[in-house]
Amino acid sequence: MAQVVAFLPKLNQDLPLPLWALNLGACAAICFGAFCCQDTVMMSADNFQRLWERYEESGTGAQVRAAIREGFDEIGPYDTKEQKARLLQIVLGNKDLGGESSTPE
């Protein structure tokens, strides 16, 4: 858990605190979706670290943060049908980790 807590400021960068959960969820969905496309049977911390690095290095992380900042305000609510559809659109629009193959080398 300490690793996750240390990881949050780096992941969320300059997003307002209320949008951190949306960004974390989008990152997890995109990275774990990419992992499911691999032949690897088990997810290790190293595998997830490589996926997250690709997520950031490809520019996907910045694109997702920008889309969340643009699409959601700091007040909410975030559980409306429209907001859920917007978040899903952000995840699906960025699922290819910058247009590259999802499989880390």
Find the angle CA(31)-CA(32)-CA(33) to the nearest 5 degrees. 90
Amino acid, res. 52: W
Q: Are 20 and 8 in contact (CB under 8 A)?
A: yes
Does the residue 103 lie in any domain?
no
Of the candidates 7, 22, 18, which has an alpha carbon nearest to the alpha carbon of residue 67?
Answer: 22
Does the residue 57 lie in any domain?
yes
Q: Are 27 and 95 in contact (CB under 8 A)?
A: no
pLDDT in tens, 15-51: 888 898 899 999 989 988 887 776 666 777 777 778 8
The total of structural domains in the chain comes to 1
Does the residue 101 lie in any domain?
no
What share of the chain in percent tops pLDDT 90? 35
Does the residue 85 lie in any domain?
yes
Model confidence band, residue 102 (pLDDT cutoffs 50, 70, 90): very low
Does the residue 102 lie in any domain?
no
Give me the residue label for tokens 């974390």.
24
Retrieve residue 94's tokens: 């960025």
The residue range of the domain holding 76 is: 2-93
Please determine, for residue 10, whether its predicted confidence score (pLDDT) is greater than 60: yes
